[in-house]
A and B are shown apart, each in its own frame.
Chain A
Amino acid sequence: MILKNIKKGNIQDLNLDHLHFKVVNDPLSINLINLHSIDGIIIKNNDLKSVRQILNQLRTKNDPRIYLMPVYLESRSLFKKMGQEVDGYLMEGINSLNSSTGETIRTRIQHITNDVSIVQDYNDRMIIKTLQYAYTRSSELAPYRDRLSPIGYHFPFLSTVISDKEISKITARLEKYTAKNVLSAKVEDKVNLCHTCHSSYLNFHETCSKCSSIDLEYENLVHHFRCAYIGPESDFKHNDQLICPKCDKQLKHIGIDYDKPAEVATCNSCTHTSQETKMKARCVDCGENNSLPQLSTIAIKEYELTSEGVEWILAKNLGKDVIEAELKDLSVVPPSIYKLLIAQEKARAANKVNGSSFAAKILIDDEVFSELAEDFRSQLKEEILNIMKTYLREIDILSAKHTGEYDIMLPDSSQVEAFEIYHLLLDNLNKLLSDNIAEQDQVVTGDLRKL
């Protein structure tokens, strides 16, 4: 009966009991509807991409009654694919439009009274909207496998409103909410992403350690105990038998006559033989040949709002909390303040009879970071800061212009003390970086001067 009521055309009305729905079939229709006057949208389109575009139009609005509005599909098969992204589908004999679930959603939408537009950052705003969506649907945020998504997974609501390029970074932001106990998380999968385009569509293969060709042939080595000859299995192959090329004896029994102690790979392009092959991941989307350390790995998790999360979602001061989460590490002073402190210390040192103060500069080669995957890069940055904090005293002041340039003030220090701290920093940072970046061994430099 419901299906019969849907007439052809771009936008149609559908009234059921006291509820009023609009039936749409293309993304542009959304902007032609007075969305405040309806109770839900029915999408009459079987194309996944178009449906997502319609959802994007709806979910990016600023009014919670609109962006959280119930959405239904006409197609059952598409509903199966999209799962939590919509609230049901239409079918003869089944009426999900005025079900109790739909009623709960509408009631819960009324609970959302705070204004997300005060959150400056777009991505954070979209995350909060997603959490509100999860609240109104009383469900967890369960990502589902999706070949069209660059990370291979589609998050309900979130993936519809965030660009493909940004989606890989969103997981890191969601972690902040987990840390704040707004969300609980359960790991569903881990995906590797290309370091240039963040796509998960990767083709893994072993390559020649010399010429990077993928045309490798693997062979077992065979060791003939009797005469100590050892070589690839092809040296021994003679029709269906293994005959030793050195002593012409037949090898009959593995473990008694011979064994296979290892495997070697021979490159058909450059003839190099080796047991050391390089694993590479070619990105199907952009063609980049990633080495394994270049790949960034993200955990795909199923998130659920905690009771604290529900409280937070319904609270009025959403924006403030987000800003707090963004606060920078206070132990590293900004360059402008460092400049002031140095000037003060210079003046102070000039008036002092005993004691001296020093200023050190530590420079890290930019190339160190450029080739690393983002996750690995931020880990490395954190470790650099940790090392600095370990060796600096409480009275020392650290400032960073960027990740490759650090200024350190060492007040009230003897020359020996200052020299020791400076060298400890240089040595340990060099060690850390040369452990992580094998090709270079002297990437940290700097200088130390008396104030």
Chain B
Amino acid sequence: MEILSNLIPEFLNFWLESGLDKFVRVFWYFILFELTRYILLDYVVYFFKSINKKSHQKEWSVAKARLRAENPLLSIVVPGKNEGKHLFKLVKSLNEQTYQHFELIIVDDGSDDDTPIIGRNLERLGMIDLFLRNEVRGGKASAANLAVRYTKGKYIVHLDADCSFDSDAIENIVIPFYMDEEIGAVGGNVKVRNYRTSLATKLQAIEYLKTISVGRISTSYLGIYKIISGAFGAFRKDVLDQVGYWDIGPGLDGDITVKIRKSGYKTVFEPSAICLTSAPINFKILAKQRLRWNKSLVRFRIRKHADVYVPHANFKWLTFFALFENLFYNLVLDVLWWIYLVDLVLNFHDQLHYVLMMNLTLYICTGFIQILIIFLYSERKKEELYLWLFVPFMTLYNGFFLRYVRTRAYLQELFLYKSYDDPWNPVKSSRQAKLNGF
């Protein structure tokens, strides 16, 4: 206690005496990259969106009226393996939707549990329009493609079976198509349903709010939105036909978004189309999931879509920025972070405890500033207040856990092409993908 009561005045004294120059020298990484991207940018976008709120609402109402007047058939497709236990709840959740002119197609990708029995029963009872089963597993992409092959709707809504939806989610995700004809796909707002279960789910809930709910509002506003979540996304059927549907994953949701952007269509994020999903309940499962997600950055953003960075006839600046921002803030800054750490150890080893304390203080403060903007945007303000308590843990979660997993994934994929060995895909598909350089 005595040490702490001495340390705090010493710490404050140290930074007051060091001056702004030294502060910038030590925390250049934070000031240059994190403060600008995750605080300033989000608040600037929020400011501009607030100014345009009324006109946006007007546009929204017109689009909604147009949607209702046309009343197009939507095709909801749900590919998955061993998802039978979620199907009844999913159907019930969809029955509550404000927009009801949809067909529901579920594809069982070679499940080895009771999914086929459950699916067939629901189909017999008329709760599912079409239940298709691949006796042999083909992977998520092929399951989604099979579902799309039999759709009749004008728009395709892709869902994960373990999600549930706000009652206006389906309607809200297709309204943007009626606001701008150039929109080829719309991403839904995915939030964590089981945020009270464990520390891991609480931290993921904050992360989802930060990176999906707020982060994607900003990137979408700037026109550089680059990933439509597989859990909840809507696509124009004609656009999907044009881009050839999904390719082999993992990371197929990011891949198809880039394909759509490369074809000249806009991709936007719709924050009011809210879907709740179950997040991994412990750090071990979470690490496994993130390893898979992060490997796809190298596989798709660097390798498969390398042409985005090179000037050519179809070159588009916004697509370039969308992928560049992703690459820079994930891969480049990840490498830079380790260099930054070495810089701190080498040059400030005698003051490291003051540096670390200030680092912690900065990131915790940033965390609260970020959650404040989440609060401003959120439609679940009261419920999400609970998460404010856990904001201090985000420094360790973001700064170390996720960064470690990310670095590991990038190294594995860059040097060992590990994503092709991922059991998430059947070997037959991964072999072909590797062979053909996808």
Residues of A within 8 A of B (CB): 209, 221, 223, 225-232, 235, 246-247, 255-257, 259, 261-262, 264, 273-276, 438
Contacts and interface: CB of A to CB of B under 8 A. Distances in A.
A227 B130 contact: no
A229 B145 contact: yes
Interface size class of B (residues with CB under 8 A): 20 to 34
Nearest to A226: B432
Contacts of A230: 134, 138, 142-143, 145-146, 149
A228 B131 contact: no
A223 B134 contact: yes
A225 B136 contact: no
B279 interface: no
A231 to B, nearest CB: 5
A228 B123 contact: no
Interface stretch (B239-247, B262-270, B396-404): B239-247
B223 interface: no
A228 B133 contact: no
17 contacts: A209-B124, A223-B136, A225-B138, A225-B431, A228-B145, A230-B134, A230-B146, A246-B245, A259-B138, A261-B136, A262-B136, A264-B132, A273-B130, A275-B133, A276-B120, A276-B131, A438-B124
Given A246-B245, A438-B124, A228 B130 contact: no
A262 B137 CA distance: 10
Main secondary structure of the interface of A (DSSP, over half): loop
A229 to B, nearest CB: 6
B105 to A, nearest CB: 10
A217 B431 CA distance: 33
A275 B245 contact: no
Contact of A273 (B150, B429, B431): B150
A171 B428 CA distance: 55
B142 A223 contact: yes
A256 to B, nearest CB: 8
Contacts of B432: 225-226, 257
B125 interface: yes
Contacts of B246: 228
Contact of A262 (B132, B150, B428): B132
Of all A-B residue pairs in the complex, the 4 with the closest CB atoms, nearest first, are A228-B141, A261-B134, A225-B432, A261-B136
A225 B248 CA distance: 8
A132 B83 CA distance: 63
A143 to B, nearest CB: 37
A255 B142 CA distance: 15
Nearest to B249: A228
B280 interface: no
Contacts of A259: 136, 138, 428
Given A259-B428, A275-B132, A228 B245 contact: yes
A231 B146 contact: yes
Contact of A223 (B130, B138, B247): B138
Contacts of A226: 432-433, 436, 438
B110 interface: yes
B247 A261 contact: no
Given A209-B124, A223-B134, A261-B138, A229 B244 contact: yes
A217 B29 CA distance: 64
B139 interface: yes
A275 B125 contact: no
A274 B130 contact: yes
A256 B245 CA distance: 22
Contacts of A235: 149
Nearest to B433: A226
A264 B105 CA distance: 14
**Residue from A221, A230, A246, A276 having most chain B Cβ neighbours under 10 A:** A230
B131 A261 contact: no
B149 A275 contact: no
Contacts of B436: 226
Contacts of A225: 138, 248, 428-429, 431-432
Contacts of A276: 120, 123-124, 131
Contact of B133 (A231, A232, A262): A262
Given A228-B247, A275-B131, 14 more contacts: A209-B123, A221-B146, A225-B248, A225-B428, A226-B432, A227-B247, A230-B146, A231-B146, A246-B244, A259-B136, A261-B135, A264-B132, A276-B120, A276-B124
A262 B146 CA distance: 11
B368 to A, nearest CB: 44
Contacts of B132: 262, 264, 275
B261 to A, nearest CB: 19
A262 B134 contact: yes
**Residue from B123, B150, B433 having most chain A Cβ neighbours under 10 A:** B150
Contacts of A257: 432
Contacts of A228: 138-139, 141-142, 145, 245-248, 429
A209 B130 CA distance: 11
